[in-house]
Copies of this chain bind each other. A is one copy, B any other.
Amino acid sequence: MQTMLNRKLTVPDTLKKNGIHILGDFYQCQDGHEELFDARLLEKFCEKTIFDAGLTQVGKLFHQFPNAGVTGVILLAESHLAIHTWPEKNYLTLDVFVCNIGRDNTLKARKVYETFKNLFNPQEVNHQEISRE
């Protein structure tokens, strides 16, 4: 008699995890203070960085908190970039998530991440890379 207990569902080969999600928490940013505060400046920087990396923007949305930080996202054909800033703490979180269906976008994602790191020059970083679709 066939049992369903402990049945292991396998992930199809077509769903290999070739995508990459880079998560960066930037503490004690030494530079980029205007972008931490100003949604328009941050949006402009995000769009240029995505374009320069060769990723494909399909939409954007930025929100300015009054007298405070910015939260924003660039939607990509390849997934998304998301950023949240706390200028009063010189702190921000950055997500760069790219799927790799059709082509490997890993180097582009890392280029985006490094461009942000260079702008903000954090003294302390929590950096993680997670494999996804």
Binding site for B on A (CB under 8 A): 9-12, 14-15, 17, 21, 23, 25, 27-28, 58-61, 63, 65, 71-73, 75-77, 79-80, 82, 84, 86, 89, 91, 93, 95, 97, 99, 101, 123-124, 126, 128, 130, 132-133
**Do A15 and B130 touch (CB < 8 A)?**
no
**Do B89 and A75 touch (CB < 8 A)?**
no
* A57 → chain B closest CB, angstroms: 10
Distance in angstroms between the alpha carbons of A123 and B10 in the assembled complex: 9
* A12 → chain B closest CB, angstroms: 8
13 A-B pairs (CB sep. < 8 Å): A9-B124, A15-B27, A23-B130, A23-B132, A60-B61, A61-B73, A63-B75, A73-B82, A84-B99, A86-B133, A91-B133, A93-B133, A95-B97
* A70 → chain B closest CB, angstroms: 10
Distance in angstroms between the alpha carbons of A14 and B21 in the assembled complex: 26
A63/B58 contact (C-beta < 8 A), A11-B27, A14-B89 known = yes
